[in-house]
């Protein structure tokens, strides 16, 4: 693990909202549950207020005072850490991740894994070369609801042969008013395609796409239409794809074909008025499972966080509570402990425990860098299809044959900014 040290020394690189609101609270849950194989020894952020807030929280909740750094290079080079939790803007993920791995640190990477397939492959290869753990932070598959649905589809076979799914959501959300002043940093970098990589498909959509791969395995092909509608704008007002380069997509119509034969749709828009659509159902030859958490405005991205229903062809019915209870009984206590260590059900806490346990035991995490690359490939296949107007095979995205529409200028941007070679002090 870490030589003769008893605990993994963990640094938090990026102390914004996701780090403070989810990662630090998840790590505190681990401590309180007796999963105490780590100490937070370093915090890093360019914003002093973020550092102050994170430090104050940790002193109150964990009784620690980590060292503070105002830039990630100093943190990676000099902080007393064995591993880092990277919670930075998307475009920096491969930059900081590769530098940290090459410096001998283990890395857990907040979603989305990276902004292109090329940068994702570089990051995964850096982990293999360094012999260090690289985990992709995809927490939603760790939730009791998603674990139960995976079990129902893949082990209990309650749906019979999985056949198709529909995930549809529409709602009119007013466009934010133009501001004469500077944008908040958390807003401005997301509007920069080089840094954010896109909008809903790569951001919150990364969770949904990871879930699909978790449920059904390898995806073979996608066809996508994306739009970035403005107020009063007609569907044909601009050339294909230019809207989603210049703006952030707010509408998606995507069809998937999986190698096991499953087909499905992911259709959502926040710029169509009138009747609101809510329909998220997974179907098989013997039944269906519906996510009924439609009051959650993020349900189209974050599946099975709340209620759900199984309905069988024979009339059988299970609520989400019933499904989770049956799953726990049938998988047994050892797997319950593996999936929900010491009774924890918070998905961010569990993903961080998986990473820390992988570091301690020298094993692979549930989703490593190559797993993150698989979801990134699906993300980029959607963008490349939307730009080309054609169905795209994921093998062509992974090989680079389907590449020039969406990713090339992002890769060119980051290739012009070499990753620093950092040596640990």
Tens digits of per-residue pLDDT, 100-150?
999 999 999 999 999 999 999 999 999 999 999 999 999 999 999 999 999
Overall average pLDDT of the 270-281 stretch: 96
Residue 284 has pLDDT above 90, yes or no: yes
Overall average pLDDT of the 387-407 stretch: 95
% of the chain surpassing 90 pLDDT: 88
Residue 167 has pLDDT above 80, yes or no: yes
Q: Three-state secondary structure along the chain? A: CCCCCCCEEEEEECCCHHHHHHHHHHHHHHHHCCCCCEEEEEEECCCHHHHHHHHHHHHHHCCCCCEEECCHHHHHHHCCCCEEEECCCHHHHHHHHHHHHHCCCEEEEECCCCCCHHHHHHHHHHHHHHCCCEEEECHHHHCHHHHHHHHHHHCCCCCCCEEEEEEEEECCCCCCCCCCCCCCHHHHHHHCHHHHCCCCCCCCHHHHHHHHHHHHCCEEEEEEEEECCCCCCCCCCCCCCHHHHHCCCCEEEEEEEECCCCEEEEEEECCCCCCCCEEEEEEECCEEEEECCCCCCCCCCCCCCCCEEEEECCCCEEEHHHHHHHHHHHHHHHHHHHHCHHHCCCHHHHHHHHHHHHHHHCCCCCCEHHHHHHHHHHHHHHHHHHHHCCCEEHHHHHHCCCCCCCCHHHHHHHHCCCCCCCCCC
- Whether residue 214 is contained in a domain is answered as yes
- Whether residue 192 is contained in a domain is answered as yes
Total domain count, the chain: 2
| Same-domain status, 217 and 228 | yes
| Same-domain status, 83 and 15 | yes
| Calpha distance 97→77 (Å, rounded) | 13
Give how far the C-alpha of residue 192 lies from the chain's centroid of Cα atoms, to the nearest Å: 19
| Calpha distance 44→73 (Å, rounded) | 10
Residue 240 has pLDDT above 90, yes or no: no
| Same-domain status, 28 and 120 | yes
| Same-domain status, 232 and 303 | yes
| Same-domain status, 274 and 260 | yes
| Same-domain status, 146 and 230 | yes
| Same-domain status, 33 and 93 | yes
- Lowest mean pLDDT, pick from 321-325, 348-352, 421-425: 421-425
Overall average pLDDT of the 10-32 stretch: 98
Residue 1 has pLDDT above 60, yes or no: no
Tens digits of residue pLDDT in 186-216: 668 888 999 999 999 999 999 999 999 999 9
Q: Tell me the helix, strand and coil percentages in the chain, rounded to 5.
A: 40, 20, 40
Task: Please report which confidence band the pLDDT of residue 288 belongs to, taking 50, 70 and 90 as the band edges.
Answer: very high
| Same-domain status, 354 and 276 | no
Tell me the two tokens of residue 165: 């799914």
- Domain span at residue 75 reads 8-139+344-368
- Whether residue 408 is contained in a domain is answered as no
| Same-domain status, 76 and 210 | no
Task: Please report which confidence band the pLDDT of residue 322 belongs to, taking 50, 70 and 90 as the band edges.
Answer: very high
Overall average pLDDT of the 170-193 stretch: 74
- Whether residue 307 is contained in a domain is answered as yes
What's the pLDDT score for residue 184?
65
Task: Please report which confidence band the pLDDT of residue 5 belongs to, taking 50, 70 and 90 as the band edges.
Answer: low
% of the chain surpassing 70 pLDDT: 94
- Whether residue 150 is contained in a domain is answered as yes
| Same-domain status, 173 and 285 | yes
Sheet containing 38-44: order of strands: 67-69, 38-44, 8-13, 83-86, 106-110, 134-137
What's the pLDDT score for residue 269?
97
CATH of the domain at 358: 3.40.50.720
What's the pLDDT score for residue 182?
60
What's the pLDDT score for residue 2?
44
Within 10 A of 270 (CB to CB), how many other CB atoms are there?
A: 18
Task: Please report which confidence band the pLDDT of residue 366 belongs to, taking 50, 70 and 90 as the band edges.
Answer: very high
- Whether residue 425 is contained in a domain is answered as no
| Same-domain status, 115 and 145 | no
Residue 61 has pLDDT above 70, yes or no: yes
Domain boundary among 308, 332, 356: 332
CATH of the domain at 223: 3.30.360.10
Mean pLDDT of the chain: 94
Overall average pLDDT of the 344-356 stretch: 98
| Same-domain status, 239 and 328 | yes
- Whether residue 298 is contained in a domain is answered as yes
- Residue whose tokens read 């064995």: 82
- Whether residue 39 is contained in a domain is answered as yes
Task: Please report which confidence band the pLDDT of residue 3 belongs to, taking 50, 70 and 90 as the band edges.
Answer: very low
Overall average pLDDT of the 289-297 stretch: 97
Tell me the two tokens of residue 5: 């040290």
């Amino acid at each position: 693990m870490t030589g003769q040290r008893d605990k993994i020394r963990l640094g938090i690189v990026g102390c914004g909202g996701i780090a403070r609101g989810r990662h630090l609270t998840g790590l505190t849950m681990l401590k309180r549950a007796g999963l105490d194989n780590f100490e937070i020894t370093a915090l890093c952020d360019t914003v002093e207020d973020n550092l102050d807030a994170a430090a104050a929280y940790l002193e109150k909740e964990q009784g620690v005072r980590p060292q503070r750094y105002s830039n990630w290079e100093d943190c990676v080079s000099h902080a007393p850490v064995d591993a880092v939790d990277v919670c930075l803007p998307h475009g920096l993920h491969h930059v900081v991740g590769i530098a940290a791995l090459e410096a001998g640190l283990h890395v857990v990477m907040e979603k989305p894994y990276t902004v292109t397939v090329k940068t994702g492959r570089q990051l995964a290869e850096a982990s293999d070369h360094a012999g260090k753990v690289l985990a992709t932070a995809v927490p939603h598959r760790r939730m009791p609801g998603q674990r139960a649905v995976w079990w129902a589809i893949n082990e209990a076979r309650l749906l019979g042969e999985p056949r198709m799914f529909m995930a549809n959501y529409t709602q009119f959300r007013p466009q934010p008013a133009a501001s004469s002043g500077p944008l908040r940093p958390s807003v401005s970098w997301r509007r920069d395609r080089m840094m954010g990589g896109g909008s809903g498909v790569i951001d919150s959509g990364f969770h949904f796409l990871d879930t699909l791969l978790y449920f059904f395995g390898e995806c073979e092909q996608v066809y996508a239409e994306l739009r970035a509608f403005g107020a009063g704008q007609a569907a044909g007002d601009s050339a294909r794809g230019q809207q989603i380069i210049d703006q952030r997509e707010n509408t998606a119509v995507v069809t998937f074909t999986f190698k096991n034969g499953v087909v499905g749709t992911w259709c959502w828009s926040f710029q169509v008025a009138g009747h609101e659509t809510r329909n998220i159902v997974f179907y098989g030859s013997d039944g269906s499972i519906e996510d009924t958490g439609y009051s959650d405005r993020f349900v189209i991205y974050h599946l099975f966080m709340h209620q759900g229903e199984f309905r069988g062809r024979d009339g059988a019915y299970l609520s989400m509570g019933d499904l989770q209870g049956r799953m726990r009984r049938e998988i047994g206590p050892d797997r319950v402990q593996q999936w929900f260590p010491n009774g924890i059900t918070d998905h961010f806490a569990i993903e961080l425990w998986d990473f820390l346990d992988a570091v301690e035991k020298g094993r692979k995490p549930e989703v490593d860098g190559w797993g993150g690359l698989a979801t990134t490939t699906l993300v980029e296949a959607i963008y490349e299809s939307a730009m080309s107007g054609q169905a795209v095979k994921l093998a062509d995205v992974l090989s680079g044959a389907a590449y020039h529409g969406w990713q090339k200028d992002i890769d060119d941007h980051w290739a012009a900014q070499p990753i620093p070679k950092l040596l640990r002090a």
